[in-house]
C-alpha cells in the first residue's frame, strides 16, 4: 500500500506537492470514483485518471469589466491570479464555487467595482442558473427559507435556520426530465453561501454530484452552471458545458 498522492506523483512524473493539489481540486479518479483524500492508502498497482480543466473563455471585455465563462473545477481566485498577471488592478466582483461553471465578473476600474458591489448589496443584480437535480421535478416553486452559514476549517456549511437565519429566496422552474433526473432553471433573489445547493436539498432535490447536501449520484462535479447575469446595464450569458446541456 502507498499514499495516493505519492503514487500519483510517480505515475505522472510530477512533484508530491503537485499531486496533492490535483487530488484536492477533485481532478483525480480511480475508475469512476473521485480520490478525495491525498493521504489515503491505495494499492501499489492502482491506476489513476487525471481530468483536465477547460480553458478560460472571455465572454466580454471593455475598460471597466471582464466577463468570464468560468470552467468547473477552477477556483475564482485562480482566475483572478491569472488575469492579474496582465493587469494588477483587476478584482473579483463576485465569486463562484469551484465546481460551478458559468458567468464570473471581474472589474478593471475601482469606481466600477464599488458600484457593482453596491448593486449586489441593493439586490439590483439578476442571476439565473441551470442545474441537474435528483428526482423528477414538475412544477415551479419559490423556496423562502432563511440561511445561516458556519465555517469548518477552510470549508463553509450552510443550514436553514428560521430563527437566526438571513432571508433567502430561490425560484426553481422545470426545463426537462431525463430518467430520474431533472434539469431546472434557478433564479436567486438573495445571495447566501450555498443558497441554491441548500434550498434544493431542502425540497429533496439536491443537485447531482452535491454529496455535501445529499446527492447520491457520483459526478465529476456539482452540476450547477451560472447561465446569465445582468447588472449596471450589462447583460452576459455563458454557454452551457456538455455536462449541463445533457445529463449523460
Query: Where in the sequence numbering do the catalytic residues fall?
Result: 97
Question: Starting from the edge strand earliest in sequence, which strands make up the sheet with 33-34, in order?
Answer: 33-34, 28-30, 49-50
Q: Are 96 and 104 in contact (CB under 8 A)?
A: yes
> SS3 of 245, please?
helix
Positive or negative: CA dihedral 145, 202, 192, 101 = negative
Pairing of β 224-231 and β 101-107: parallel
C-alpha cell at 202: 431542502
Looking at residue 122, the DSSP 8-state letter turns out to be T
For 17, counting Cβ atoms within 10 Å of its Cβ (0-12 exposed, 13-18 middle, 19+ buried), the class is exposed
Please give the torsion angle defined by the CA atoms of residues 101, 102, 108 and 112, in that order, rounded to the nearest 10 degrees.
-120
Please provide the distance, in angstroms rounded to a whole number, between the alpha carbons at the two ends of the chain: 34
Q: Are 239 and 122 in contact (CB under 8 A)?
A: no
C-alpha cell at 79: 482566475
> SS3 of 106, please?
strand
Using alpha carbons only, give the angle 121, 156, 82 rounded to the nearest 5 degrees.
70
Amino acid at each position: 500500500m502507498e499514499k495516493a498522492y505519492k503514487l500519483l506523483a510517480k505515475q505522472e512524473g510530477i512533484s508530491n506537492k503537485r499531486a496533492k493539489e490535483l487530488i484536492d481540486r477533485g481532478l483525480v479518479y480511480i475508475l469512476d470514483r473521485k480520490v478525495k483524500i491525498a493521504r489515503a492508502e491505495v494499492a501499489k498497482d492502482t491506476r489513476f485518471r487525471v481530468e483536465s480543466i477547460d480553458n478560460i473563455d472571455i465572454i466580454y471585455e471593455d475598460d471597466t469589466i471582464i466577463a468570464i465563462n468560468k470552467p468547473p473545477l477552477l477556483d475564482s481566485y485562480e482566475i483572478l491570479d491569472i488575469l492579474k498577471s496582465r493587469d494588477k488592478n483587476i478584482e473579483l466582483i463576485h465569486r463562484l464555487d469551484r465546481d460551478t461553471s458559468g458567468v464570473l465578473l471581474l472589474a478593471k476600474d475601482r469606481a466600477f467595482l464599488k458600484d457593482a458591489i453596491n448593486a449586489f448589496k441593493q439586490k439590483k443584480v439578476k442571476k439565473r442558473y441551470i442545474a441537474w437535480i435528483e428526482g423528477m421535478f414538475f412544477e415551479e416553486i419559490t423556496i423562502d427559507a432563511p440561511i445561516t452559514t458556519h465555517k469548518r476549517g477552510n470549508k463553509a456549511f450552510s443550514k436553514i435556520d428560521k430563527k437566526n437565519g438571513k432571508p433567502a429566496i430561490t425560484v426553481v422552474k422545470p426545463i426537462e426530465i431525463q430518467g430520474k433526473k431533472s434539469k431546472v432553471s434557478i433564479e436567486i433573489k438573495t445571495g447566501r453561501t450555498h443558497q441554491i445547493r441548500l434550498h434544493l436539498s431542502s425540497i429533496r432535490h439536491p443537485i447531482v454530484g452535491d454529496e455535501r447536501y445529499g446527492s447520491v449520484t457520483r459526478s465529476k462535479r456539482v452540476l450547477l452552471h451560472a447561465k446569465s447575469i445582468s447588472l449596471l446595464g450589462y447583460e452576459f450569458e455563458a454557454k452551457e458545458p456538455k455536462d449541463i446541456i445533457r445529463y449523460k
